[in-house]
Amino acid sequence: MYNKSNKAKIAVLASGRGSNFVAIQKAIDRGEIAARIAVLICDKPKAKVIEAAREFGIDVSIVDSAGLSNDEFDKKLVAELKGYAIDLILLAGFMKIVGRPLLENFPGKIINIHPSLLPSFKGLNAQRQAIEYGAKISGCTVHFIDEGVDTGPIILQSSVPVLDNDTEETLSARILEEEHRIYPEGVRLFVEKRLRIDGRRVIIEESSC
Ligand code: GRF
């Protein structure tokens, strides 16, 4: 385990653009989170997030899923993560479903950000789902991962209005601003050991210092 002199080691798993990855690294650089991103693991060799990680001088590991079953891919991820002695795994636009090998090896240590107010609009294209449904409010959710898709205990949420003239792009941009605010905040709470999972609920403990 880590203590104050020994910073928490984070792995970010991402497949795409990487704006949440950057938001978290910037919060670390500002001294808001006592942790370091030890590795970015990416399943897409051409993803934009890889360039961002390299600019920050963060190790990049490309774990290709081609030809592998979900289970085999997960086991490869576990081996990679164990090599880095990771304390916390962050999914940030990771386009794979996390399976048993990861969940069993890192119980209560995998967090995701989803662009809706869960449990509404799970799965892909959550912003489009919110518009098509006619929701007046949407937002984003930071949550622990469990065996379901977007079903794990909720850590933080933030809401934004859905405007009459919103497109998927404009709503996504409004939600993304909130993602960049609450994802680093959720990571900080985890790193400070202030999150206690009690059934479906996540209790945020008072800071001890
Ligand atoms: C975000 O909207 C996040 O909520 C979802 O995937 C997107 C990733 O964006 N899980 P980025 O790669 O962090 O820019």
Residue 9 has pLDDT above 70, yes or no: yes
Please give the distance, rounded to the nearest whole angstrom, from the Cα atom of residue 101 to the centre of ligand 1: 23
The radius of gyration computed from the CA coordinates of the chain, to the nearest angstrom, equals 17
Ligand 1 centroid to residue 64 C-alpha, Å: 20
Phi and psi dihedrals of 94, rounded to 5?
A: -90, 120
pLDDT tens digit string along 119-149?
999 999 999 999 999 999 999 999 999 999 9
Distance 144 CA to ligand 1 centre (A): 16
pLDDT, residue 4, reads: 47
Read off φ and ψ for residue 202, nearest 5 degrees: -110, 115
Residue 142: strand, helix, or coil: strand
Q: Where are the beta strands (DSSP E) in 100-200?
A: 110-114, 137-144, 154-161, 195-198
Relative orientation angle of helices 168-191 and 126-133, to the nearest 10 degrees: 130
For 205, phi then psi, to 5°, come to -75, 155
Cβ of 101 less than 6 Å from ligand 1: no
21 CA: nearest ligand 1 atom: 13
pLDDT higher than 50, residue 27: yes
By C-alpha distance, which of 96, 112, 128 is closest to 183?
112
Max Cα distance, the chain (Å): 50
Q: Which residues contact 206 (CB under 8 A, 6 or more apart)?
A: 194
Rounded Cα–Cα distance for residues 19 and 25 (Å): 10
Q: Is the pLDDT of residue 115 over 80?
A: yes
Query: Cβ(51)–Cβ(58) under 8 Å?
Result: no
pLDDT one-digit tens code per residue, 56-87 = 999 999 999 989 999 999 999 999 999 999 99
Q: How many helical (H) and strand (E) elements, i.e. helices and strands, does the chain have?
A: 6, 9
> Is 130:117 a contact under the CB 8 Å cutoff?
no
Active-site residue, selected from the candidate residues 76, 109, 114, 180: 114
> Which token pair is 63?
């774990």
